[in-house]
Structure 1
């Protein structure tokens, strides 16, 4: 049975080229993950705030190295794309930004991010999400980007709004965290917003 519409993006839209490094133009760089980032990722996940809003823990640098290997391979599979957010001058890890749950045919992906404790309150997540969104819309051709966060995570809600992701609603009891089920806000941007 033929489709009546063409896919928004076709296989290879990401993987036909190496994963790019994306400068924010104001001191940050979104770059592909490196094996040497494992100690910094492990350290980031020792922060209690990470445990509050994320459903994974990182028990060792070896585990972080395994995550990084998966993140590096994910580009080729085009199901997700992960970047380290670093200080452009020092290469110090400031956080992570990603496109997850990529549906190329529909031109849709989910933006996700986290920041290390010392980077919070400095606009790192906002700048990273804005840069990634611009690249996804203008360079790749995505149509819609979604962003989800626990409704109690007010800081993430501020980042989403500032980065141009309109609040579309609340997904009730949508994600199980260690402290129970969380309602999740759904934000989105579409190309042209």
Structure 2
């Protein structure tokens, strides 16, 4: 977290709290921004009390629109563990098609995970959530 101001100023990353009138519900961020390639990687999480209410899907849809319309990016990517079907539903619900599985790519506290990859292009049809 201490690294975010440096990443923001360097234009290599950005993060936002996802909130409503009750407080913080989660976080969404551009973990890796490569402006020269018009590319960024997205990550998100939602606190347990906010899960199941489309919080992440709405945040992902908003960040997708902003990244294309304001930043002018061409491609957004995200990966999630194949053991996390909820994250897959978030990506699909926001109109992010699956592109495949990267075997043994993610190291988590319980070991190596295969990771699903999803992506959106600026030219993809707009999805309303």
| Equivalences, count | 124
Q: Which residue of 2 aligns with 1:78?
A: 11
Contact 1:72 1:82 in 2 (8 A): no
Once structures 1 and 2 are overlaid, which stretch shifts more, 166-175 or 71-80? 71-80
CA distances 1:44-72 after superposition (whole Å, capped 9, x unpaired) = xxxxxxxxxxxxxxxxxxxxxxx2x4223
Q: Point out where structure 1 has 5 or more consecutive residues left out of the alignment.
A: 1-66
Please state whether the residue corresponding to 1:140 is helix, strand or coil: coil
Q: Which structure 2 residues correspond to residues 92-171 of structure 1 after superposition, within 5 A?
A: 92-171=23-102
CA distances 1:10-55 after superposition (whole Å, capped 9, x unpaired) = xxxxxxxxxxxxxxxxxxxxxxxxxxxxxxxxxxxxxxxxxxxxxx
Q: Point out where structure 2 has 5 or more consecutive residues left out of the alignment.
A: 125-129
Query: If each structure's helix is expressed as a fraction of its own residues, which one has the higher value?
Result: 1
Q: Distance in 2 between matches of 1:111 and 1:134?
A: 13
Superposition deviation, residue 140 in structure 1: 1.4
Superposition deviation, residue 139 in structure 1: 1.4
TM-score by length of 2: 0.92
Q: Distance in 2 between matches of 1:84 and 1:168?
A: 27
CA distances 1:146-178 after superposition (whole Å, capped 9, x unpaired) = 010001100000000011111000000001111
Q: Distance in 2 between matches of 1:125 and 1:145?
A: 16
Q: Distance in 1 between matches of 2:9 and 2:67?
A: 16
Alpha carbon RMSD of aligned pairs, Å? 1.0
Contact 1:79 1:101 in 2 (8 A): yes
Please state whether the residue corresponding to 1:118 is helix, strand or coil: helix
Q: Distance in 2 between matches of 1:108 and 1:140?
A: 10
